[in-house]
Amino acid sequence: MVTQGSGPSGSGETRRAGPPGPGRRRPPPRPVEVVGVERLAPWLLSVSLGGDALAGFAVEAPTAHIKVLIPPPGEALVLPTPGSDGLVWPADAPRPVLRTYTPRRFDPATGTLEVQFALHGPGPAASWAEGAKAGDRVAVAGPGGRFQLDPGAERWWIAGDESAVPAVATLLEALAPTAQVEVHLEIAADADVIPLPGPARTSVTWHQRRDATAYGAELVEAAASSAFTAGTHAWAACETGAVRTIRRHLLTEKGVPASALTTRGYWRLGTTNHPDHDYGDDG
């Protein structure tokens, strides 16, 4: 376990892109291309995306999510076009793989969108990110998400695993300078620690996973051992089974009101297609 003070980084589903649900109208995905790649840690890659289609793109709240549409290996990127009943996909070409990620930051001055890819293991998005180079084409849709930051909250308890680190970073950057923040992050090894932003009164504890399959166990333990004073807001995102345990504990044992608690099941152990709208509130 490594504890840091603050210094001045989803996850979500993997599936073939499909049509929206009944009655839902979505704008076409925005075609973009890679303009830069940087390895932030052995397990974390930053990919910068740019293109004219990002004109008007904006991230209104921290911990938002976007869809990244990645062409199958060796295939060109194919995107839908607007139709009378929604988006229409070409019938004679393979659809891209869809993956959910946090938009780490968007710079409207340069029109550049940064997406950080946690490299958990083999998968279409991780494989694409590790081989990404300038000029490679993907598409993005969104952003979306229903999290609304309470600007008056002065005390926070935040927890997540590797998949949540980019979202946690966006939340820390959005908090008031006077906020008191306790952060718990679970990683595979102490060597995976990276710098994080945050208000001056931020304590970050990095927990090394006790074994390769005990995802979220350290975060559950941190929730049980932490003190929650009145007015504390909590945000947690990790493996879906662990996040449900954390949510139940914070509600029933720590007295955190549901209105001050945000939980996200970013992924489920043993499941490939996990929905991005898992809020961990179904018991």
CATH number at residue 181: 3.40.50.80
Answering whether pTM is above 0.95, one says: no
Determine, yes or no, domain membership for 276.
no
Does the bond joining 90 to the residue before it have cis omega, within 30 degrees of 0?
no
Which of 144, 173, 208 is the last residue before a domain boundary? Answer: 144
Separation between Cα atoms, residue 189 and residue 203, nearest integer Å: 19
d(CA 37, CA 129): 9
Sequential pLDDT tens for the chain (283 residues): 655 554 333 443 334 555 544 445 678 999 999 999 999 999 999 999 999 999 999 999 999 999 999 999 999 999 999 888 899 999 999 999 999 999 999 999 999 999 999 987 778 899 999 999 999 999 999 999 989 999 899 999 999 999 999 999 999 999 999 999 999 999 999 999 999 999 989 999 999 999 988 999 999 999 999 999 999 999 999 999 999 999 999 999 999 999 999 999 998 876 666 666 677 776 5
Residue 93 domain flag: yes
* Residue 33 lies inside a defined structural domain of this protein: yes
Q: In which domain, by residue range, is 125 found?
A: 14-144
Same-domain check for residues 120 and 150: no
Looking at the structure, do residues 58 and 152 belong to the same domain, yes or no?
no
pLDDT at residue 233, rounded to an integer: 98
CA dihedral angle for residue 270, residue 139, residue 278, residue 187, rounded to 10 degrees: 60
Is 278 contained in some domain? no
Contacts of 214 (CB under 8 A, 6+ apart): none
Q: What pLDDT is stored for residue 195 in this prediction?
A: 95
- Same domain? For 152 and 139 the reply is no
Do 153 and 227 share a domain, yes or no?
A: yes
User: Looking at residue 85, what is its pLDDT?
Assistant: 87
Residue 207 lies in a domain: yes
Question: What are the distances in angstroms from CA 7 to CA 172, 200, 201, 208?
Answer: 11, 8, 10, 20
Q: Smallest Cα–Cα separation from 188: which of 65, 5, 41?
A: 41
Same structural domain for residues 131 and 153? no
What is the number of alpha carbons within 13 Å of residue 260 lying toward its C-beta?
Answer: 21
Q: Which domain-ending residue is among 106, 124, 144?
A: 144
Whether residues 155 and 236 fall in one domain: yes
Q: Which of 120, 144, 168 is the last residue of a domain?
A: 144
DSSP letter for each residue of 111-134: TEEEEEEE--SS-HHHHHHHH--T
Q: Is the same domain home to 132 and 197? A: no
* pLDDT for the residue numbered 4: 54
pLDDT of residue 10: 45
Write down the pLDDT at residue 268. Answer: 83
Same domain, 20 and 138: yes
Residue 273 in domain: no
Same-domain check for residues 130 and 25: yes
Residue 58 maps to which CATH number?
A: 2.40.30.10
Q: For position 58, what pLDDT does the model report? A: 96
Query: Residue 32 has which token pair?
Result: 């973009």
**65 in a structural domain:** yes
- Kindly state whether residues 151 and 91 are assigned to the same domain: no
Question: What is the rounded CA–CA span in Å between residue 52 and residue 154?
Answer: 39
> Both 127 and 183 in a single domain?
no
Give me 127's structure tokens: 């494989």
Tell me which H or E stretch contains 142. Answer: strand 137-144
Together in a domain, 183 and 104: no
Task: Write down the pLDDT at residue 243.
Answer: 96
Domain count, the chain: 2
